[in-house]
Amino acid sequence: MKHPVLALCISATLVCIFEVSAPAAASRAFKAAPSPEVLADRRVTFRVAAPKAHEVTVTCECVDEPVSMQKDGKGTWSGTIGPIDSGFYAYEIWIDRVQVADPVNQTVKVKEGAQSAPLSSLLEVPASRASLHSRKLAHGTVEVRSYASRATGSTRRVHVYTPPADKDTAALPVLYLLHGAGDDDSSWTKSGHANLILDTLLAEGRAKPMVIVMPDGYAYPRRDGVPAARQRADFEKDLLEDLIPFVEANYRVFTDRDHRALIGLSMGGGQALNIGLHHLDLFSRIAGFSAGANRASPGGPFADVAADPDRINRSLALFWLGCGDEDDLFEPNQALSEFLTARGITHTFFPSSGGHTWANWRKYLAEVAPKLWH
Range(s) of the chain covered by CATH 3.40.50.1820: 141-372
Report how far residue 245's alpha carbon sits from residue 255's, in angstroms, rounded to the nearest whole number.
Answer: 9
Helices 267-277, 228-238: inter-axial angle, 10-degree rounding: 60
Instruction: Judge whether 88 and 123 are in contact, CB under 8 Å.
Output: yes
Give the class (CATH, top level) of 5-125. mainly beta
Output the pLDDT for position 111: 57
Amino acid, res. 313: N
Per-residue pLDDT of the chain (374 residues; tens, 9 = 90+): 333 333 333 222 233 333 333 333 333 443 446 889 988 888 999 999 999 999 999 999 888 889 999 999 999 999 999 898 877 788 999 999 999 888 888 777 665 544 455 678 888 887 654 444 444 678 899 999 999 999 999 999 999 999 997 555 689 999 999 999 988 999 999 888 899 899 999 998 999 999 999 999 999 998 888 999 999 999 999 999 999 999 999 999 999 999 999 999 999 999 999 999 999 999 999 999 999 987 778 778 888 999 999 999 999 999 999 999 999 999 999 999 999 999 999 999 999 998 898 889 999 999 999 999 97
CATH of domain 141-372: 3.40.50.1820
Output the pLDDT for position 298: 77
Output the pLDDT for position 374: 78
Output the pLDDT for position 61: 81
Q: Is 152 helix (H, G, I), strand (E, B) or coil?
A: coil
Output the pLDDT for position 123: 85
Q: Is 182 left (phi over 0), alpha (psi -120 to 50) or beta?
A: left
Q: Distance from first CA to last CA of the chain, Å, rounded?
A: 52
Output the pLDDT for position 116: 52
Output the pLDDT for position 136: 63
Nearest to 206 by CA among 346, 371, 47, 355: 371
Range(s) of the chain covered by CATH 2.60.40.10: 5-125
pTM of the model: 0.74
Q: DSSP for 76-132?
A: EEEEEE----SEEEEEEEEETTEEE--SS---EEE-TT-SS--EEEEEEE--SSS-T
